[in-house]
Amino acid sequence: MNVTIIGAGKMGEALARGILRAGLLLPTELTFADVATVQLQELADALGATAAMDNVEAVREATLVILAVKPNTIAQVCREIAPVLLSGAIVLSIAAGISLRQLAAVLERDDVILARAMPNTPCLVGAGAIGLSFTEQAPAEARTTVAELLAPTGLVLSMTETQLDAVTGLSGSGPAFVALFIEALADGGVLMGLPRAQAAQLAAQTVFGTAKLILETGLHPAQVKDMVSSPGGTTIAGIAALEKAGFRAAAISAVKSATMRSQELSKD
């Protein structure tokens, strides 16, 4: 395959590094395009990929084009590249709130395959969570190809497009929510006498280890909570404090608010 990533930001870089690290592409099969020319050249040099200063030239031979640009610029980029896309090429957008219908309307190319993905920032370390959706007519081969290319960056779940707004609210925005929780845990440790550096390490490792335990054992989060909560013990006292403060409701509300914002972006 020849893959072009338009957008040399953190997410475009994360996807590229994951694909190359897994040996799914040679660096010579990867092209980057971006308006930030210095950043573009530095990234291309670091990965051994090709840097293209022009979006049109970048996609001429691409069998997969990944649109890793901001939602407010995606229409302009699509209009630029639409005339030169290869017939049968896959166009994968990771722009939040931009629907497949909107992509199709601006590209006006019935002979290309459209897909959307919602990755998150942990893709940078190969531990991301990605929702993936295609148009109904997308062939199975294209679906498999994209899923396999994304897999080295984290968990890939195929779903209907209507579910992607919820993915944006949960795993797309979720790293910020989790980071806030880690920071709060660390603050609690500092309050109770731990040095800041140690408190931050302990908080982050606790969240990481708990997530790993749930993913690898298949235990329900409630089971893990019950494993730690002894009658009359320290943990249940802390849980009672969280429940009193509305922790669970706040987390649910955060995902709902982020999801609704994603839905609003789709209508803009």
Name which of 140, 90, 137 is nearest 117 in CA terms: 90
* pLDDT tens, residue order, the chain (268 aa): 899 999 988 899 999 999 998 899 999 999 999 888 888 999 999 999 999 989 999 999 999 999 999 988 999 999 999 999 999 999 999 998 889 999 999 999 999 999 999 999 999 899 999 999 999 999 999 999 999 999 999 999 999 999 999 999 999 999 999 999 999 999 999 999 999 999 999 999 999 999 999 999 999 999 999 999 999 999 999 999 999 999 999 999 999 999 999 888 777 6
Task: Give the pLDDT confidence score for residue 108 in this predicted structure.
Answer: 95
Domain boundaries, the chain: 3-165, 172-267
Beta-bridged to residue 131, according to DSSP, are 118, 157
Phi and psi dihedrals of 120, rounded to 5?
-130, 170
Is 3-165 assigned to CATH 3.40.50.720? yes
Task: Give the pLDDT confidence score for residue 101 in this predicted structure.
Answer: 93
- Contact, 65 vs 85, CB < 8 A? yes
**What is the homologous superfamily of the domain 172-267 according to CATH?**
ProC C-terminal domain-like (1.10.3730.10)
The rounded distance, in Å, linking the Cα atoms of 27 and 29 is: 5
Q: At 234, which amino acid appears?
A: T
